[in-house]
Homo-oligomer: A and B are copies of this chain.
Amino acid sequence: MAHPPRNGHFSGHGIAVDVVLFTIQDGTLKALLVKRQRPPYRGAWALPGGMVGPEESVDAAILRELQEETAIGNIYLEQLYTFGEPDRDPRGRVISVAYYALVNWQQFQLKARQRVSEADWFPVKRLPLLAFDHRRIVDYALERLRNKINYTTIGFQLLPRQFTLTELQGAYEVILGQRLDKRNFRRKMLQLGILRGTREFKANGRQRPARLYTFTEPKVVKLQEKGIIVPF
């Protein structure tokens, strides 16, 4: 009911931010992990993240960490869930505000050279053992991603500015873990009115070149979905 610390000196909690950073590489959905340099879980893989500073907003903290880690800005980033079990960190009370983010691999490659820390991408289907409760966070992020790709355009965040419809379909298939019908997929996507066909083509070896499209919306948009109860 009341907000203030209940007594004069209140110990306080540590606040961590952690992020599940997804990308698609070689037709596989991957997440970025970093190797912990110090205890606890020294040497184990963990999600990128860090502590929130005393004067820093939680959102600012995750942006800062992401900046440090990836050197790319303008990433799609969304708060996921807050994990607040008292024993989730063996050192003491640390609450974690988890986020997830999506980057496209090409863009990442260009800028990420500078950083050589012990970090690597792992297929989400074959993750190593993770520190803390990070495995749970990844699972939750994956669930959210799979749901949200159905009624928003977050999927486009995994692709470069120009992409072919086959690449787009591939992104959806990788995330959803199932194959989609090519004709139906294309019709639906084009019907949404959020793609613009360019006059450029991508030659992929010795097949017919594929038309490149761009995403017309400035950011992630919510698609008109039919609810069970109410049509929107």
Contacts and interface: CB of A to CB of B under 8 A. Distances in A.
Interface of A: 1-6, 10-16, 34, 36-38, 46, 48-52, 54-59, 61, 65, 68-69, 79, 81-82, 84-86, 89, 91, 93-95, 97, 117, 132, 149-151, 172, 176, 178, 180, 185, 188, 192, 223, 225-230
B85 A97 contact: no
Contacts of A68: 1
Contact of A228 (B6, B13, B223): B223
Give the copy number. Answer: 2
A184 B79 CA distance: 36
Contacts of A13: 12-15, 52, 54
A6 B185 CA distance: 49
Contact of A12 (B11, B37, B48, B229): B11
Contacts of A229: 149-150, 172, 176, 180, 185, 188
Contacts of A151: 227-228
A141 B225 CA distance: 20
A19 B185 CA distance: 41
Contacts of A57: 84-86
Contacts of A56: 86
27 contacts: A1-B68, A2-B37, A3-B16, A3-B51, A3-B89, A3-B132, A4-B51, A4-B91, A5-B14, A10-B14, A11-B12, A12-B12, A13-B14, A13-B52, A13-B54, A15-B84, A15-B95, A52-B95, A56-B86, A57-B84, A58-B95, A61-B84, A150-B228, A150-B230, A151-B228, A185-B229, A188-B229
